């Protein structure tokens, strides 16, 4: 079972209750009153655990698993070992997640301003919200109901935070309007001015960055991300978008809804992403371009041009994904054959 020091346990459930909560059909189960008490991956699961199988790649792990029960799609039922109760569902992973939250609900918190937190007199704190020790809340900040503000987090003047949003420890927020049910992980920096100046003969003049960061509902921002405020327009993150750790969004960047941005990605100023764009880790995107809805960008890509909706690119500079795969294959072929495949062209040999 998950370490009870860190993950309080809500109690066991019968297999019949598990089936009800996950909307799955119980199969190969002589006794639906048998109790289970946790979720676990196939390799680690014990008889008291529920596991899941979604991908056929893990059929071997299924065969070897000690799980007492398994969420599984209907077509794979015949592949399960005889001892295992089966919970047949079209969405095993999704229901595994839901069941995990049943056994280990997100910990609640006691509302109020903890000793050692500093909340400005003009700030408003919604019912059921908690401000942890050392947090500093500026003038005119508006925090909705049921929010959690982590220890030693700093929220500058006039920031707005929607209901049910959780902000981790040691975060800094300024010039931002945050939606409902967002989660901002520790160490994120949101709303500082961006990187812009005019370099002239008589010294550098910093551009005034007079925009905000607008974050819609249900957004997640990873640990130690940096999201600069807009320069005049706003920096925007659409509903349900998810940013992994150490992501950088420069001023005026706009993300649509449901985007997935993996760790250490950087997006330069004024670039606009549509909805449901997926970006692999460590990719960089230049400024002032447009990335269409549902575009998919491989990890470690360097994107220099617009991508149309549904486009898929990879490489640095990024090209259509098939072209990238071919160029990787060709370079590999060249490297394996050695330089002898390349004969000097006319008059070209002497430059090498």
Closest CB 30 distance from its own copies, rounded Å: 27
Among 11, 30, 78, 338, binds its own copies (CB under 8 A): 338
Q: Which of residues 101-160 bind its own copies (CB under 8 A)?
A: 101, 104, 115-116, 118, 132-134, 136, 140, 150-152, 154, 156-158
Rounded Cα–Cα distance for residues 38 and 103 (Å)? 6
Closest CB 60 distance from its own copies, rounded Å: 14
Closer to its own copies by CB, 14 or 172: give it.
Answer: 172
Contacts of 164 (CB under 8 A, 6+ apart): 144, 145, 146, 147, 180, 181
Run of H or E including 27: strand 25-27
Rounded Cα–Cα distance for residues 278 and 222 (Å)? 15
By DSSP bridging, strand 197-200 and strand 166-167 are unpaired
Run of H or E including 181: none
State whether residue 100 is helix, strand or coil. helix
SS3 content of the chain, % helix, strand, coil (to 5): 15, 25, 55
Closest CB 1 distance from its own copies, rounded Å: 9
By DSSP bridging, strand 242-243 and strand 235-237 are unpaired
User: Helices H, strands E: what count in the chain?
Assistant: 4, 40
Q: Which of residues 264-303 bind its own copies (CB under 8 A)?
A: 264, 266, 268, 281-282, 284, 286, 299-300, 302
Q: Which of residues 229-248 bind its own copies (CB under 8 A)?
A: 231-233, 240, 242, 244-246, 248
Sort residue 208 into left (φ over 0), alpha (ψ -120 to 50) or beta: beta
Q: Is 251 a catalytic residue?
A: yes
Among 18, 36, 40, 295, binds its own copies (CB under 8 A): 40
Q: What angle do CA 333, 325, 327 make, to 5 degrees?
A: 50
Among 19, 29, 39, 178, binds its own copies (CB under 8 A): 39
Catalytic, out of 251, 276, 288, 304: 251
Site string for its own copies, 307-336 (x = CB under 8 A): ---------xx-x---xx-xxxxxxxxxxx
Closest CB 134 distance from its own copies, rounded Å: 6
Among 169, 289, 312, 321, binds its own copies (CB under 8 A): 169
Closest CB 11 distance from its own copies, rounded Å: 15
Stretch that binds its own copies, among 14-22, 59-67, 123-131, 192-200 (CB under 8 A): 192-200
Rounded Cα–Cα distance for residues 180 and 146 (Å)? 10
Closer to its own copies by CB, 83 or 118: give it.
Answer: 118
Q: Which of residues 72-91 bind its own copies (CB under 8 A)?
A: 91
2 lies in the site for its own copies, by CB under 8 A: yes
Instruction: Give the binding-site size for its own copies (rule: CB under 8 A).
Output: 122
Burial readout 150-188 (b: 16 or more C-beta within 10 A, e: otherwise): bbbbbbbebbbbbbbbbbbbbbbbbbbbbbbbbbbbbbb
Among 94, 124, 272, 296, binds its own copies (CB under 8 A): 94
Distance spanning both ends of the chain, measured CA to CA: 63
Among 164, 168, 274, 311, binds its own copies (CB under 8 A): 168
Given a contact cutoff of 8 angstroms between Cβ atoms, the answer to whether 225 and 243 are in contact is yes
Active site residues: 251
């Amino acid at each position: 079972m998950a370490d009870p020091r860190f993950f309080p346990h809500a109690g066991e459930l019968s297999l019949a209750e598990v089936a009800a909560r996950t909307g799955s059909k119980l199969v190969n189960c002589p006794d639906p009153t048998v109790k289970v008490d946790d979720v676990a991956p196939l390799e680690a699961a014990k008889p008291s655990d529920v596991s899941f199988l979604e991908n056929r790649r893990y059929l071997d792990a299924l065969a070897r698993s000690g799980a007492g029960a398994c969420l599984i799609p209907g077509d794979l039922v015949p592949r399960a070992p005889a001892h295992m109760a089966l919970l047949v569902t079209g969405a095993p992973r999704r229901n595994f997640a839901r069941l995990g939250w049943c056994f280990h609900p997100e910990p609640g918190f006691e509302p109020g301003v903890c000793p050692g937190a500093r909340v400005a007199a003009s700030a408003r704190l919604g019912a059921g919200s908690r401000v942890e020790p050392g947090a500093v809340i500026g003038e005119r900040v508006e925090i909705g109901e049921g929010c959690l503000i982590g220890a030693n987090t700093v929220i500058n003047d006039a920031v707005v935070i929607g209901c049910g949003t959780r902000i981790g420890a040691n975060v800094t927020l300024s010039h931002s309007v945050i939606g409902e049910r967002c989660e901002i992980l520790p160490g994120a920096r949101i709303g500082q001015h961006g990187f812009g100046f005019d370099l002239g003969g008589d010294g550098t003049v910093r551009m005034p960055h007079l925009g905000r960061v607008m974050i819609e509902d249900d957004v997640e921002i990873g640990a130690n991300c940096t999201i600069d405020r807009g320069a005049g327009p706003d920096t925007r993150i659409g509903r349900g978008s998810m940013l992994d750790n150490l992501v950088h969004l420069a001023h005026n960047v706009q993300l649509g809804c449901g985007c997935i941005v993996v760790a250490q990605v950087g997006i330069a100023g004024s670039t606009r992403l549509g909805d449901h764009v997926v970006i692999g880790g460590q990719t960089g995107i230049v400024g002032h371009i447009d990335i269409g809805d549902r575009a998919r960008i491989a990890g470690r890509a360097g994107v220099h041009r617009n991508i149309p909706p549904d486009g898929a690119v990879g490489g640095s500079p990024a090209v259509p994904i098939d072209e990238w795969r071919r160029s990787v294959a060709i370079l590999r072929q060249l490297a394996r054959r050695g330089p002898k495949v390349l004969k000097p062209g006319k008059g070209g040999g002497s430059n090498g």
